[in-house]
Chains A and B, each alone.
Chain A
Amino acid sequence: MRKNSIAGYAVGALLGLGLTGTVSAAECIAPANPGGGWDFTCRTIGKIMHDIGVVDKPVQVTNMAGGGGGLAFNHVVNERNEDADLIVAASSATATRLAQDAYGGLKADQVRFLGAIGADPGVIVVAKDSPYQSLTDLIDSVKADPGSVTFAGGSAVGGFDHLKVLMALGRAGFTDIRKVKYIGLDGGADALTQTIGGHTQAMTGDISEVVGFLKADDVRVLAVMTEERVPGFEHILTAREQGIDVVAVNWRGLYVPRGISEDDYRKWSDALATVAASSEWAAAMKANGLAPFTKVGPDFQDYVNKVVGEIEQLSRKIGVIE
């Protein structure tokens, strides 16, 4: 198998050279197929960077799906470690998988996290006709009988959508978290469909996944997991306000290869900070249900380290990792 992949890389590298030629424009790798959050990050940030002139050529987006982002991570660490023209889309899912050792032994410190400039706040949602009126209602019901509530989310067991629920339950004093029923579906909209259809009792996901259904009045958002209420969704209570001290957001950001120079790192973080401050990005955030969440440069690196540590602990507790 090892030999195969080495040969594969050789073939891939050759073809890659043939395909990309001598173009030296910046490249943004979206470690997933077109359509997801990472793809959005690359395309939107890349486009704005060019539109506002912080890069002179259009940023080329490469979709490199595989291993839940692991393929791209591996590619960056092993083959592009000194490529100063490369940025890679990342999110909470990247941190989660790194914490759970899902990238084949690679660690978070093998790249440099550049920054996050927006976040999709975590939400817990029920169907319009659900008996649960508040987050406390729902949690009380889980406490009384864990079998009575199935949560649906857009990530696999142990993924960020699952962990959000467990964090909330944990803060509410429910410790038997292995009893919590969770099913993973292909994306938040799918999970929401199951919940509205009455097949599951609650959905855990990001606020952007809920917007359309919320406007159509098909769902009730029980809580949003941010420090403050989200602009544009002021009527939704935070979990904190309901006495459950949990904050969980799905940030959207970038990482760069470990081996680039300090100057290049600063160049990219300045570029990203400029995007964060632009009106174009504000509009894109609004359209996609993202809340402001700007951490760029070394600050962000510290934040990621902290989150990775937290998730590692929780995952150990539920037995996702040993």
Chain B
Amino acid sequence: MDILANLTQGFAVALTPTTLMLAVGGCFLGTVIGSLPGLGPSNGVAILIPLAFSLGLDATQALVLMTAVYYGAMYGGRISSILLNIPGDEPALMTTLDGYPMARQGRAADALVLSGVASFVGAFLATIGLMLMAPLLARVAYLFGPAEYFALYLLAFCTLGGLTSRNQAKAVFAAALGLAIAMIGLDNQTGIPRLTFGAIHLMDGVDFLVAIVGLFAVAEVFIFIEGHGRGSAIGTSLGRLTIPVRDIVASFGAMLRATAIGFVAGILPGAGASLGSFLAYMGEKAMARHDKETFGTGNPRGVAAPEAGNNAAAGGALVPMLTLGVPGSGTTAVLLALLLTLDITPGPLLFDERPEVVWGLIAALLISNFVLLIMNVPMVRLFVRILSVPPWLLLPGITMISFSGIYSLSGSGFDLILMIIFGILGYVLRKLDVPTVPIILGILLGNNMEDSLRRAMVISDGDWTYLFSSGIAVGLWLAAIAGFVAPLFLRSLLKRPEKAAD
């Protein structure tokens, strides 16, 4: 077995005391960074790159440290999603939908443990997938041209309407608002500025993190001030820490399905973890038979699916980065930069040319996963404690961290102003009961969808049949149409047999 021999070599590299310590340290730092709103995996890794250099680490060690931080941040993102209803980073967005309601029902500890286990399942299986199939899977990226990408994003948008069970029209309105915000900035195809009103700061559009922190964290501050601390989301207490065995068993299937969806989404360049967790959540909701209505109100599967999905996507995103040199997400783009600085050229030959780097990395990822499982399940209190100081202290603290986090992104004060504007918008929208999650999804996915469509139109000279020119594209279109139409008709159909059974 080639793989076993390689893996043994990898563990030999990864199990040296220094490397192991770096993995543990990286996991810890990553989890802390991930759990702080405004600091996601990509800027977390970017901020810590200088650390790798100043410690004088060699290529493998630096890579181990950084991927441990990456995985740690992916795990950590869920903590503030569940406890504060503020996503720690973009991919943890979907976890707020059911995680926070669970916390409000006094099941915060259960939600954290469950999502920790789900993260582990997703990340662990994705690492195995990376190990077994990376060179093969790299070919998947070749199959996706503009037509296929457009259909994929369309699928995401078609299922958006079913995101909140309360009022679909409001969800659609929010998504449209997100799309409009996504249009701000230089048009990717022609380089012409749109909706920037001549302001150079708007040229690159609106950063997702600015929007997320504004809509969630800053808006929360306004709500807090308005109610003098009452009615605010902050301050959920953590109950007794037990292992919710029943929930874990019940949602194990969901974790596996979400892992598969997330992993594939991760492999596709540009799709990444956010799309992975979104599709995993929507897939789980669509598959639900008798408890569909409880999604969004604290369904444990709604916590498990997006967490398994986004962590699997994190592993999946490493596939094109290592084998093609094409980053599958923002964070892997940063890691790619690190690789290049370390004189490692990712590409189809990396597995043959630098096996010690690749297999050392894979072994370290496996180890990191176990470390993270221990940190995030039995030791989760440690991280919760960071977030469980009194609200009057926590909120200004979070705001401060958010502000410096956002400032570290671009070094531009303009983003801070923009964040406050988003905070006001978020406050108003919450008063109007408009969900804010679809806005973020619109911003995240809108540009990619538009670019794909326009590239397709350039290639085909405006011939729309090009959009259906491959089996993959047609399949995605059918799924998208089904995802849009099915809820309208199936809702009543699905309920009926249940009533009969009652």
Contact = CB atoms under 8 A, between A and B. Distances in A.
A284 B345 CA distance: 12
Q: Top 5 closest A-B pairs, CB basis?
A: A212-B347, A12-B413, A199-B145, A216-B348, A197-B142
A197 B145 contact: yes
A257 B436 CA distance: 43
Nearest to B53: A47
Given A34-B49, A197-B141, A8 B201 contact: yes
Interface residues of B, number: 61
B99 interface: no
B205 to A, nearest CB: 10
Which of B46, B186, B269, B347 has the largest count of A CB atoms less than 10 A from its CB?
B347
Contact of A1 (B197, B204, B347, B416): B197
Nearest to B346: A212
Task: Name the residue in A35, A157, A189, A215 with the highest tally of chain B Cβ atoms < 10 Å from its Cβ.
Answer: A35
Nearest to A35: B337
Given A157-B189, A194-B145, A67 B204 contact: yes
B341 A181 contact: no
B249 interface: no
B411 A16 contact: yes
A200 B144 CA distance: 12
Given A102-B191, A184-B189, 12 more contacts: A11-B417, A19-B407, A39-B337, A64-B411, A64-B412, A71-B200, A156-B189, A181-B459, A183-B146, A183-B458, A194-B146, A284-B343
Interface of B: 46, 49-50, 53-54, 141-146, 186-191, 197-201, 203-204, 269-270, 320, 324-327, 333-334, 336-337, 340-341, 343, 345-350, 403-404, 407, 409-417, 454-455, 458-459, 461
Nearest to A287: B343
A190 to B, nearest CB: 5
B269 A190 contact: yes
Interface in A12-49: 12-13, 15-16, 19, 33-36, 39-40, 43-44, 47
Given A68-B203, A71-B412, A189-B326, A40 B337 contact: yes
Interface of A: 1, 4-5, 7-13, 15-16, 19, 33-36, 39-40, 43-44, 47, 58, 61-68, 70-71, 74-75, 100, 102-104, 147, 150, 156-159, 181-187, 189-190, 193-194, 196-200, 209, 211-213, 215-216, 218, 283-284, 287-289, 320
A72 B350 CA distance: 35
Contacts of A199: 145-146, 459
B47 to A, nearest CB: 9
A1 B199 contact: yes
Contacts of A66: 200-201, 203-204, 410, 412
A275 B79 CA distance: 46
Contacts of A100: 191
B191 A33 contact: no
Given A8-B417, A156-B190, A193-B142, A65 B348 contact: no
A212 B325 contact: yes
B191 A200 contact: no
A16 B416 CA distance: 13
A196 B414 contact: no
Nearest to B344: A287
A150 to B, nearest CB: 5
B350 A212 contact: yes
Interface of B is mostly: helix
B324 A189 contact: yes
A80 to B, nearest CB: 12
Contacts of B459: 150, 181, 183, 199-200
The winner among B53, B204, B327 for most chain A CB atoms within 10 A is B204
Nearest to A209: B325
A198 B144 CA distance: 10
Nearest to B143: A197
Contacts of B204: 65-68, 71
B458 A189 contact: no
Given A40-B341, A157-B190, A190-B269, A181 B412 contact: no
B198 A104 contact: yes
B199 A5 contact: yes
Interface centre among A15, A65, A189 (most CB of B within 10 A): A189
A35 B346 contact: no
Nearest to A195: B142
B142 A8 contact: no
Nearest to A13: B413
6 contacts: A4-B417, A156-B188, A156-B190, A186-B269, A196-B142, A213-B324
A14 B107 CA distance: 42
B181 to A, nearest CB: 16
Contacts of A189: 324-327
Nearest to A9: B413
A211 B341 contact: no
A264 B222 CA distance: 49
A216 B325 CA distance: 12
Given A33-B334, A103-B200, A212-B350, A15 B191 contact: no
A71 B142 contact: no
Most buried by B among A7, A9, A147, A215: A215
A63 B47 CA distance: 10
Contacts of B143: 197
A320 B458 contact: no
Contacts of A13: 413
Contacts of B413: 7-13, 15
A74 B200 contact: yes
Contacts of A63: 46, 411
Contact of B191 (A75, A158, A183, A287): A158
A79 B455 CA distance: 39
A311 B92 CA distance: 44
A228 to B, nearest CB: 23
A187 to B, nearest CB: 7
Nearest to A97: B191
Interface-centre pick from B189, B325, B334 (highest chain A CB count, 10 A): B325
B188 A184 contact: yes
Nearest to A201: B459
B347 A211 contact: yes
Nearest to B339: A35
**Listed residue (B403, B404, B413, B416) with the most chain A CB atoms within 10 angstroms of its CB:** B413
Nearest to A216: B348
A10 to B, nearest CB: 7
A159 B191 contact: yes
B464 to A, nearest CB: 16
A60 to B, nearest CB: 8
B414 A215 contact: no
A215 B346 CA distance: 11
